[in-house]
Amino acid sequence: MFMNYRLLLSGLAIWMIAPVALRIFGQHILRPENAVSVAVLFAVSLPLMALLVRRLCRALRLPADQWVLGAVSLALPTLLLDPFSSAFFSTIYPNMAPETAGLFGGWILWCCCGAVLGGMIRLSK
């Protein structure tokens, strides 16, 4: 089994679009001072990422035994590149307070966890 390059490229495309969206809307999405907002963000993100992986794996007709690898392929650009987004958070996201960096990092890990779970969990037909 090798990395799924179509999902890797999809993950790279998502990674390239997400910072633009966060530069525009990030201060409204990532609000560490509001516990309810954080809870809702986390509650919604994990299942959405799981669903995204499942839909992409189905659309690409990936065999079920390759979905975990597909999920890792999709999440890999985020896992490799977002540590730099966290390290240089204030420069990359000047629209958000520096204390938002921790929430950002946790959210990214949570989303990647959702992606992997989406590839792991088998649902009956």
Give the burial class of 74: count Cβ atoms within 10 A of its Cβ; 0-12 exposed, 13-18 middle, 19 or more buried: buried
Question: Which tokens belong to 73?
Answer: 């392929």
pLDDT range class, residue 123, cuts 50, 70, 90: low
Task: Tell me how far the alpha carbon of residue 28 is from its chain's centroid.
Answer: 18
How far apart, in whole angstroms, are the C-alpha atoms of residue 18 and residue 108?
11
pLDDT one-digit tens code per residue, 41-66:
999 999 999 999 999 999 999 999 99
Mean pLDDT of the chain: 94
pLDDT one-digit tens code per residue, 9-34:
999 999 999 999 999 999 999 999 99
* Cβ neighbours for 54, distance < 8 A, ≥ 6 positions apart: 67, 118, 119
